[in-house]
Amino acid sequence: MKAIDLNPDGWHTSHWGLTDFYDDAETRLVELLNSGENFEAYGSSKKEIASFQIVKTDGGIDCTASASMDEGWDLINDALWEVAPEKIDQPEEFYESINEMMIDDWEFSSNASYTVWIHRDATLNEVKAAIDEAWEHADKILEQSYLSVKNYVLFQLDLEENRQGETLWTEQIT
């Protein structure tokens, strides 16, 4: 099965989300769906860190969306700014310890993907809905990962405050 980029120029296939296709990408996808043939097609968003893959086989159509977020120190910094911006000037060791924990112990990934299966004769709108659903699930996976990072940042701040004899951080993130 040949992989087909929905944008022959190699640029993005959609603007804001994954399914607000540019005209040429949408036309190509409709042609592929109507051809009756099996295919693998892919594309990406210009404004989001997200991409999709559509695989049509005799058994149906798999619509997979993948999303990403910052990783490493950038992600930790984002979490720190959100939970305790007044404590942003942490030493390098603070970031290193959290990053090491994320990589070594959690096997943390700043990428997520999710697949939705639909029937082989799906319309363009059904394919779009499946891609959007897959993207929503991938985003929820990333949100849970980010929540873990924020909680661990708070935990590390608690440890630092306790070591320095200050009061413990009591805010809980829900």
pLDDT at residue 169, as a whole number: 47
Residue 148 lies in a domain: yes
Residue 174 lies in a domain: no
- Structural domain boundaries, residue 135: 3-163
Write the DSSP string, 13-45: SBSSSSSSB-HHHHHHHHHHHHH---EEEEEEB
The answer to whether the Cα torsion of 72, 168, 81, 46 is positive or negative is positive
Could you identify the residue written with the tokens 């990053």? 99
Render each residue's pLDDT in the chain as its tens digit; 174 residues.
878 888 766 678 998 899 999 999 999 999 999 998 999 999 999 998 999 999 999 999 999 999 998 887 788 888 888 888 888 888 888 888 888 877 776 677 889 999 999 999 999 999 999 999 999 999 999 999 889 888 888 888 887 776 665 544 455 554
In sequence order, the 6+-apart residues with CB closer than 8 A to the CB of 36 are none
Residue 173 lies in a domain: no
Residue 26 lies in a domain: yes
Residue 171 lies in a domain: no
Residue 43 lies in a domain: yes
Total-model pTM: 0.82
Domain count, the chain: 1
39 — phi, psi (to 5°)?
A: -160, 165
